[in-house]
Amino acid sequence: MDDVFGGFARAIGEGITGLVGGAFQAMGAAVNAIFAMLQGILPGLWLPVVAVAVVLVVGWKLIKR
């Protein structure tokens, strides 16, 4: 009887692990796609320059609050 419940619990754990792992893979693929799109729009060093500018502006707005 313990083998049945142990196998059931293991199957549930593996299923949850698969779901979480799949979710992280999907989020990673989405971030990669967004980065690739931005890299196409802002070629060369423009993407890091714009990213730093956005971080500075948002940081400034948060400090002013």
pLDDT tens, position by position, 28-63: 999 999 999 999 998 888 989 999 999 999 999 999
What confidence score (pLDDT) does residue 1 get? 62
CA 47/CA 32 separation, integer angstroms: 14
Give mean pLDDT, residues 7-35.
Answer: 95
Q: What burial letters (b/e) apply to 14-46, b meaning 16+ CB within 10 Å?
A: eeeeeeeeeeeeeeeeeeeeeeeeeeeeeeeee
What confidence score (pLDDT) does residue 7 get? 87
Structural domain boundaries in the chain: 2-64
pTM metric for this prediction: 0.61
What confidence score (pLDDT) does residue 43 get? 86
pLDDT band of residue 5 (cuts 50, 70, 90) is confident
